[in-house]
Amino acid sequence: MDVAASGVDFAACGTYKWLMADFGAAFLYVRRDRLERLHRSEIGWRQIRGLTQHVSPFDPVVPDAREYELRDDAVGVFEVGTPAWGALATAEASIGSINKLGIDAIARHREPLMSELPARLSHIPGYVPLTPQDSQGPILAYGIKDAELRFRDRLLANQVQISLYPNGVRISPSIYNNLEDIARLIAILTEDAPGTR
């Protein structure tokens, strides 16, 4: 997506989930002619362009012990303290991998995994599909009574990670999964389901 060509004023995106990175890093685009409308809520070292301080006896004397000039770019408005360098390094690696693999290749890999899940789960009584049938997204959600109580221990024992809720599940396979993973998940989710024996 070309944010400049789109004409949007602001665009934000976290690096976790589909960018396969981690919490603590995100992107923010601000159209240049909107920067002047933004106001700082606090000031930290990343926002300072020039600093003169009187900390040691040999430093120049300045009012209030410090004089500083604030940056007037996006960093100067939004970045207060030390960035999450580890999260940024992870994002650089994950986004590099996504670009190398290609989004279309990732979607092609995911498609049979996504098809297998509703084929095996949607007909089970009490498993209510929450994701629209025509959804092109990479997430499937089901309402299942007492899902957390029923599945938590089995998922942990089998080292299967999905989003688990008191009365539902959310499944989001990607490039790091295969049909064997999906079969293992389906076995866990259907072990005590009515009409599957």
Q: Does residue 42 sit in the same domain as residue 131?
A: no
Q: Does residue 39 sit in the same domain as residue 51?
A: yes
Residue 196 above 80 pLDDT? no
* Domain membership flag for residue 176: yes
* Domain membership flag for residue 196: no
Q: Does residue 91 sit in the same domain as residue 110?
A: no
What residue numbers bound the domain in which 165 lies? 102-190
The pTM score is 0.73
* Domain membership flag for residue 195: no
Q: Does residue 87 sit in the same domain as residue 137?
A: no
Q: Does residue 28 sit in the same domain as residue 91?
A: yes
The percentage of residues in the chain with a pLDDT greater than 70, rounded to a whole number, is: 94
Q: Please, which pLDDT band fits residue 67 given cuts at 50, 70 and 90?
A: low
Q: Does residue 96 sit in the same domain as residue 111?
A: no
Average pLDDT over residues 86-106: 95
Q: Does residue 115 sit in the same domain as residue 168?
A: yes
Integer-rounded Cα Rg, in Å, for the chain is 24
Which tokens hold the place of 192? 């005590």
* Domain membership flag for residue 118: yes
Residue 14 above 90 pLDDT? yes
Residue 39: the pLDDT is 78
Residue 110 above 80 pLDDT? yes
Residue 171: the pLDDT is 96
Q: Does residue 114 sit in the same domain as residue 169?
A: yes
Residue 102: the pLDDT is 95
CATH number at residue 64: 3.40.640.10
Q: Does residue 34 sit in the same domain as residue 123?
A: no
Number of domains the chain is built from: 2
* Domain membership flag for residue 147: yes
CATH number at residue 160: 3.90.1150.10
- Out of 42, 72, 100, a domain closes at 100
* Domain membership flag for residue 11: yes
- Out of 100, 128, 145, a domain closes at 100
pLDDT in tens, 47-63: 877 777 767 777 777 76
- Out of 44, 75, 100, a domain closes at 100
pLDDT in tens, 133-154: 888 888 999 999 999 999 999 9
